[in-house]
Amino acid sequence: MTLSIIQARVPGAAPPPPVLHGPARLPATEAPRALVAGIGFRHATSADEILALVAEGLRQADLPSAHLAALATAADRAGDRAIRDAAEALGVPLVAIGVEALREAGRRVVTRSVRIEALRGVGSLAEAAALAAAGPDGRLVLPRIASAGATCALAASGDALPS
């Protein structure tokens, strides 16, 4: 499977340059997907740690992995091997969220990290990435959870999943 990286943007902002493109289409026989896992991670984090954290998030939200539509992270981290390998292992595209889109979605996060707020201007990178990728009507299904080197939050588009 070829990995897709999609650049999210704030409505009205200039379109960003494309990052990577490729076919990451779902077979028609798969269950509908509506869920985005936002991921924040440190440079030394492995794909296995990200995968374990996503699995734990889905378990905590009591949602099947078939609902997972994408991973999302900050655009400047989307080229990192660990996040790309995690997306590929899950069979979902990777959504690269630009700074403006992160900050816009950051207004809706529910958890706050002083460190990430100082570095990124948002309280939770994972929550902001998930919300930005889910769109303006997206809602958090699972606030940020953390492992030693990563954070994960789950968001759904509008009413795509039951409350």
65-79 pLDDT tens trace: 999 999 999 999 999
Task: Tell me the pLDDT band of 33, cut-offs 50, 70 and 90.
Answer: low
Per-domain boundaries in the chain: 5-11+33-156
DSSP for 3-57, written as a single string = --EEEE--TTSPPPPP-B----PPPTTSPP--EEEEEEE-TT--HHHHHHHHHHH
CATH of domain 5-11+33-156: 3.30.420.180
CA 108 to chain centre: 15
Cα dihedral 90, 93, 99, 104 sign: negative
Q: How far apart are CA 95 and CA 30, in angstroms?
A: 20
Q: Is 0.85 surpassed by the pTM of this model? A: no
